[in-house]
């Protein structure tokens, strides 16, 4: 397989590993947005959240929860962002599901990928109803 994260998970490509079990691997990002920027990946290939097995999603989140306190303590972070993108349009660069763990400090220069603005209440109501109906089918 040509997936770089699959090669890292299999040991074919080295990584700065933090944590590993039979389902997941956590390692430092080689192009970090901040000190301690880490990636949590399932060892089984899944393109994105929509393709990820529920057991692997649970394992990824459990690993994130296990690693987070160490990241915060060791880096002296005051907070932690979890970030995950699906598809190129959303900014996903590697087509293998991965969760970013980003230790944060007040005044750091890491910015959110979106700018918030107030939404129209009627439009929100209509969208919520449409989504709820889609989930019932």
In the set 83, 96, 98, 100, the catalytic residue is 98
> Distance of CA 44 to CAs 5, 53, 118, Å?
10, 9, 39
What is the pTM assigned to this prediction? 0.92
Question: What is the average pLDDT across 95-114?
Answer: 92
104, β-bridge pairs? 79
Mean pLDDT of the chain: 95
Give pLDDT tens digits for 50-76: 999 999 999 999 999 999 999 999 999
Query: Domain-by-domain residue ranges, the chain?
Result: 4-107
Pick the CATH number of 4-107 from 3.30.428.10, 1.20.1370.20, 3.40.640.10, 3.40.50.1100: 3.30.428.10
pLDDT for position 115:
78
98 catalytic, yes or no?
yes
Per-residue pLDDT band at 1 (split at 50, 70, 90): low
């Amino acid at each position: 397989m040509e997936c770089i994260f699959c090669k890292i998970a299999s040991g074919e490509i080295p990584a700065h590993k933090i944590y590993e079990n039979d389902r997941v691997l956590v390692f430092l990002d080689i192009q970090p947005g901040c000190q301690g920027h880490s990636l949590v990946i399932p060892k089984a290939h899944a393109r994105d959240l929509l393709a990820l097995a529920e057991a692997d999603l649970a394992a990824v989140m459990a690993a994130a929860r296990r690693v987070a306190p160490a990241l915060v303590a060791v880096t002296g972070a005051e907070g932690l962002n979890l970030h995950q993108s699906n598809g190129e349009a959303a900014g996903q660069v590697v087509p293998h599901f991965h969760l970013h763990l980003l230790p944060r400090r007040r005044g750091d220069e890491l910015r959110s990928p979106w700018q918030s603005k107030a939404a129209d209440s009627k439009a929100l109501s209509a969208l919520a109803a449409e989504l709820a109906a889609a989930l019932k089918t």
